[in-house]
Amino acid sequence: MAGSIERQRHILDFTLAALLRRKAKNGALLTVYTLIIFILSSVLFFGHALRQQAQGMLRETPEIIVQRTLSGRYHTIPLSYADAIKEIRGVSSVEPRLWGYHYDGNSMANYTIVVPVEDAPPEGSIDIGSGISKVRLANERDVMGFNGFDGTPHGFTIRKVISSESQLVSADLILMSERDYRAFSGIPANHAIDLVLKVRNPKEYTTIAEKITRLLPDTRPIIRNEIQRTYNAVFSWRSGVVLVIFSAAALAFAIFAWDKASGLSAEERREIGILKAVGWETSDVLFMKFWEGVAVSLTAYLAGVSLAYLHVFFTSSCLFTPLLKGWSTLYPEFKLMPSISFGQLTATFLLTVVPYVITTILPSWRAATIDPDAVMR
């Protein structure tokens, strides 16, 4: 046993020395290999962490949202609908919501306006997100002006800037009182944007949604699970776009691996022939190539995964930011909480390390089984 371990140690020493003799070639290979693993791991880490953070926030999403539609378009919903829905067995509460969007020509950005249920700003005052504060250079006690639905200018004093820790949901947010909102948006006092429901038994979500549709045919109930599926689909689509970019690099690596599997260079064949001539066995040659593949692939894997971790969780995916922002002007600056799936690490390992090791051993086995004199000639 001790002799076998010592033998493997000597083979490994020789393998590392051989790799260092071909610094330029192996350095270029290691760089490309690391880059591919870095891109793939960054996409997987970012998508998983974003889904985890979104799921945490979506746990606070209303159980059922009821919207009103006319000809497939959203309209405000009469508050009388809330009284009718309260009569449905299983519904514990119905609350109207007031919210909307406002395009600001000064910053060329869309703001989200919400009337909070608790701690609403007093009339004439607003709370703004840190993104709005940044683009409008506005701070507490400053006055911001907006044109209302009828073109009438409205001025609001900033009560506070919402903490930057919640930028993912508040970067473009404006909170205002109900009276200010109705005057600004033109929505009458007997209407709301939508209704949010609480249900006693979560198993009855679908049943209650069907009852609401039958009772009020012009409404559209949206269950919390549907919202979560929509967000997951959006995140998967964005990750898929980045993976398309990655596929070009992956194709180049696949071509390289195939070329490596199809045969060895003249220098490598001559090296194997010399080793066989001085007494190396076929198994020793295969072990040498095995350790060579393991050394290169593990180095690239560890470097690529480590760089991807730093890229996603410490630089907020700076390389993917233009794609992830899309058309957004007020894109939030936030750091994702580190969240890595063991399954992702395993999948990345199996897709990158194992194929390379195999493509390193196969051509070496063919060369090691040929007569040393023929190989050297």
State the virtual CA torsion across 203, 206, 212, 218 in degrees, nearest 10.
160
Q: Which residues pair with 93 in a beta bridge?
A: 198
Helix (H) or strand (E) holding 349: helix 342-368
Lowest-pLDDT range, 147-156, 180-189, 219-228, 316-325? 316-325
Q: Pick from 159, 192, 223: which residue ends a domain?
A: 223
Average pLDDT over residues 54-71: 81
Give the pLDDT band of residue 365 (cuts 50, 70, 90).
Answer: low
Mind listing the pLDDT tens digit for each residue in 312-364?
Answer: 888 877 776 666 555 455 555 556 677 777 887 887 888 778 877 777 777 66
Q: Pick from 161, 196, 223: which residue ends a domain?
A: 223
Q: Based on the domain organization, do 261 and 246 belong to the same domain?
A: yes
**Range of 315's domain?**
2-58+230-376
Q: Based on the domain organization, do 250 and 365 belong to the same domain?
A: yes
pLDDT at 78: 95
Q: Based on the domain organization, do 204 and 258 belong to the same domain?
A: no
Given a cut of 60, whether residue 238 has pLDDT beyond it is: no
3-state secondary structure of 74: strand
Q: What is the number of structural domains in the chain? A: 2
If you count them, how many residues does the chain have? 377
Q: Based on the domain organization, do 213 and 283 belong to the same domain?
A: no
Q: Pick from 202, 223, 244: which residue ends a domain?
A: 223
Q: Based on the domain organization, do 238 and 334 belong to the same domain?
A: yes
Question: What CATH number corresponds to the domain at position 197?
Answer: 2.40.40.20
Does residue 183 contact residue 154 with C-beta atoms inside 8 Å? yes
Lowest-pLDDT range, 80-89, 100-109, 182-191? 100-109
User: For a pLDDT cut of 90, what percent of the chain falls above it?
Assistant: 29
Cβ-based burial of 374 (10 A; exposed 0-12, middle 13-18, buried ≥19): exposed
Q: Based on the domain organization, do 15 and 112 belong to the same domain?
A: no
pLDDT at 40: 81
Instruction: Give counts: helices (H), strands (E), the chain.
Output: 13, 13
Average pLDDT over residues 86-91: 91
Pull the structure tokens for residue 185. 């948006």
Mind listing the pLDDT tens digit for each residue in 116-165?
Answer: 988 899 999 999 988 888 888 889 999 999 889 888 999 999 999 987 65
Tokens 């089984």: give the residue.
369
Given a cut of 70, whether residue 206 has pLDDT beyond it is: yes
**How far is it, in rounded angstroms, from Cα 77 to Cα 317?**
40
Q: Based on the domain organization, do 30 and 145 belong to the same domain?
A: no
